[in-house]
Amino acid sequence: MIVVMKSGASQDQIRYMTAQVEGLGLKAHVIIGAERTVIAAVGIKRDGTKESLAIGDGVADVVPISAPYKVASLEVKEERTVVTAGSLQVGGPRVGMIAGPCSVESEQQILETARAVKTAGGSALRGGAFKPRTSPYSFQGMKEEGLELLAAARSATGLAIVTEVVASEDVPLVSHYADVLQIGARNMQNYRLLEAVGNCERAVLLKRGPSATIDELLLAAEYILDRGNTNVMLCERGIRTFESHTRFTLPLATVPYLHQKTHLPVVIDPSHGTGHAFLVPDMAAAAIAAGADGLIVEVHPNPEKAFSDGYQSLNFDAFASMMEQCRNIAHATGREL
């Protein structure tokens, strides 16, 4: 249910209604908008809940939330969420560009890449230190040493750090170094991990599972929001289909569809979405044209030598020219990059 407060409702009235919601055994999420404040009352509803809340002082209306996800729904919050994490802003008038290698491999590799990303106008540096790999014999990442190198790259360039956390017990360690915690596609439905990042202060980039529906993605986001962390970005990174000319199939309709359903910003990953470096720039531009709030792109100083995902990584020149192409599209759609 959404308790819609009258415009001009007092703080006391909002506090009182929050307590009323909690008194009914429901969780209260207070969302202060420019026009109105609403209290999303989430949980198992009993008979008479609507009626008992509707008579509260300062209440304009009590309406059901029809979507299965609640706090993520546009029904609860009409204003778009802008996620800010250091140099990165996603959801505002500027398209966020997160770029960097699939994996952190060495000090030189990550520092060189960070400088190239910064020079080309990127907004944040990505790089995996904990890598979820399909095979246990593939490179698993530099772990804490990789996190230290990412922090050094942030000191050198000012770029915010986006890096994956693969297990709930690693959340404190990764949060210590990172500005944004990435939840990988394979972990989208790892509910304990979602709760753990929901309990922490860091912004979260939640990737869609390759076989997950959009509703499942939104319900995964709901686990994080329900714990009180509202700095969540949703990421389309491609789904598994019968098609084999690309690594995954990248559905860009996800962008306008999610914008109809949620206030959370939408990021597109054309690197994993296509699996081929030559397809990345055009899909990045198309994503911006479709309204994407941000992009996450793999960039490597020498893609042929990369420890992971080299075939889909751009070199520095290709990244710089992709930035130019994307900037033109951003301007054409009334935004900056």
Does the footprint of ligand PEP cover residue 184 (CB under 6 A)? yes
Residue 272 in contact with ligand PEP, rule: CB under 6 A: yes
234, 206 in Cβ contact below 8 A? yes
Q: Is 214 left (phi over 0), alpha (psi -120 to 50) or beta?
A: alpha
User: Residue 240, Cα to own-chain centre: how many angstroms?
Assistant: 20
Question: What single-letter amino acid sits at 177?
Answer: Y
Distance between CA atoms of residues 336 and 23, nearest Å: 46
SS3 content of the chain, % helix, strand, coil (to 5): 40, 20, 40
Q: Which of 95, 102, 252, 287 binds Mn ion (CB under 5 A)?
A: 102
Out of 125, 185, 224, 290, point to the residue binding ligand PEP (CB under 6 A).
185
User: Measured from the CB of residue 284, what is the shortest distance to ligand PEP in angstroms?
Assistant: 15
Structure token digits, residue 287: 């994503």
Which one of 79-87, 95-103, 237-245, 247-255 is the stretch in contact with Mn ion (CB under 5 A)? 95-103
**Contact call for residue 128 and ligand PEP (CB under 6 A):** yes
| Residue among 39 and 98 whose Cβ is closer to Mn ion | 98
The DSSP element (H or E) to which 16 belongs, if any, is: helix 11-23
Residue keyed to tokens 């860091």: 202
Considering the complex, what minimum distance in angstroms separates the CB of residue 204 from Mn ion? 18
Cβ count within 10 A of residue 186: 15
Rounded to a whole number of angstroms, the minimum distance from the CB of residue 28 to Mn ion is 39
- Pairing mode of beta strands 88-90, 96-100: unpaired
Q: How many residues bind ligand PEP (CB under 6 A)?
A: 9
SS3 call for 336: strand
Residue pair 247/237 in contact (Cβ under 8 Å)? The answer is: no
Binding partner of 263, given ligand PEP, Mn ion, none, CB within 5-8 angstroms per partner class = none
Q: Per-residue contact track with ligand PEP, 132 to 151, x per CB under 6 A?
A: x-------------------
| Residue with Cβ nearer Mn ion (53 or 306) | 306
Task: Taking each helix axis as running N to C, give the angle between helix 280-289 and helix 316-332, from 0 to 180 degrees, rounded to the nearest 10.
Answer: 20
Residue with Cβ nearer ligand PEP (102 or 181)? 102
CA distance 197 to 183: 9
Q: Applying CB under 6 A, does 207 fall inside the site for ligand PEP?
A: yes
Judged by CB under 6 A, the chain residues 229 through 268 that form the site for ligand PEP are 237
Minimum CB separation of residue 186 from ligand PEP in Å reads 6
Q: Which of 71, 239, 309, 337 binds Mn ion (CB under 5 A)?
A: 309
Nearer to Mn ion, 102 or 196 (CB): 102
Interhelix angle 191-198/214-226, rounded to 10 degrees, is: 40
Using CB under 6 A as the binding rule, whether residue 77 contacts ligand PEP is answered as: no
Quick note: the x/- pattern for Mn ion over 266-305, rule CB under 5 A, is ----------------------------------------
- Smallest gap, in angstroms, from Cβ of residue 239 to Mn ion? 16
Q: Which residue is nearest to ligand PEP (CB)?
A: 184
For ligand PEP, the closer CB: 76 or 185: 185
What would the DSSP string read from start to end of 173-224?
A: HHHHH-SEEEEPGGGTT-HHHHHHHHTSSSEEEEEPPTT--HHHHHHHHHHH
Measured from the CB atom, is 5 or 102 closer to ligand PEP? Answer: 102
Considering the rule CB under 6 A, would residue 102 count as an interface residue with ligand PEP? yes
User: In terms of CB distance, is 16 or 191 closer to ligand PEP?
Assistant: 191
Query: Does residue 234 contact residue 262 with C-beta atoms inside 8 Å?
Result: yes
Contacting positions for ligand PEP (CB under 6 A): 102, 128, 132, 184-186, 207, 237, 272
Return residues touching Mn ion (CB under 5 A). Answer: 102, 309
